[in-house]
């Protein structure tokens, strides 16, 4: 069999070259499309993961905010209790104060001295009484001066 090539050689070579360029271009374009699709899928997965992490962190923030509120409430209660405790301590001191003053006064009073009136006002004490002699009054005054409640 005899073959006859009716197309000129240069045109055939140009046609082969064009087909080769078309195939290479298609492969490159397909590769770019696949690469972009892969990048899109990767970014979508990364976005999804970050959104889940964000939701988790927001939940954790809400939990921590509740705990912060609890701590603040507890601190306020502690502050209230400390204030109440301080008031109780002051009341206990004031309660035992007059008893100690009266005990000190009783210990300082000699047998030959009688108090007829005792008044307290503004942190001061006014006393009236009777004594056998001036020496008894002087002894009483010295005993009061030695007491830590009377100065």
| Mean pLDDT value across the chain | 89
Mean pLDDT of 23-44: 97
* Cα 41 to Cα 89: distance, rounded to the nearest angstrom: 71
Backbone angles phi, psi at 2, to 5 degrees: -110, 135
pLDDT tens digits, one per residue of 34-81: 999 999 999 999 999 999 999 999 999 999 999 999 999 999 999 999
Sole residue written with tokens 């374009």: 29
Burial 108-140 (b: 16+ CB within 10 A, else e): bbeeebeeeeeeeeeeeeeeeeebeeeebbebb
Task: From 96, 94, 97, 136, select the one nearest 115 (Cα to Cα).
Answer: 136
pLDDT at 7: 60
* Contacts of the segment 143-151: beta carbons below 8 A, 24+ positions apart: 143/107, 143/108, 143/109, 143/110, 144/105, 144/108, 146/108, 147/104, 147/105, 147/107, 147/108, 148/104, 149/100, 149/101, 149/104, 149/105, 150/104, 150/105, 150/108, 150/125
Mean pLDDT of 100-118: 88
* Cα 70 to Cα 115: distance, rounded to the nearest angstrom: 60
Q: Among 58-67, 101-110, 127-136, where is mean pLDDT lowest? A: 101-110
Whether residue 6 is predicted with pLDDT greater than 70 in this model: the reply is no
pLDDT at 93: 76
As given in the structure block, the two tokens for residue 23 are 């195939």
pLDDT at 126: 86
Whether residue 9 is predicted with pLDDT greater than 70 in this model: the reply is no
pLDDT at 138: 92
Mean pLDDT of 100-120: 88
Percent with pLDDT over 90 in the chain: 58
pLDDT at 64: 97
pLDDT at 96: 65
Whether residue 89 is predicted with pLDDT greater than 80 in this model: the reply is yes
């Amino acid at each position: 069999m005899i073959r006859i090539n009716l197309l000129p050689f240069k045109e055939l070579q140009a046609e082969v070259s064009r087909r080769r360029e078309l195939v290479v271009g298609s492969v490159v374009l397909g590769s770019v499309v696949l690469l972009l699709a892969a990048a899109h899928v990767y970014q979508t997965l990364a976005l999804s993961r970050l959104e889940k992490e964000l939701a988790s962190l927001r939940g954790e923030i809400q939990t921590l905010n509740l705990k912060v509120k609890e701590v603040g409430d507890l601190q306020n209660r502690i502050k209230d209790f400390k204030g109440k405790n301080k008031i109780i301590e002051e009341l206990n001191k004031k309660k035992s104060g007059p008893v100690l003053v009266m005990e000190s006064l009783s210990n300082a009073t000699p047998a030959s001295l009688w108090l007829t009136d005792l008044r307290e006002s503004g942190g001061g004490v006014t006393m009236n009484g009777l004594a056998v002699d001036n020496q008894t009054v002087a002894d009483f005054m010295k005993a009061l001066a030695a007491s830590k409640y009377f100065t």
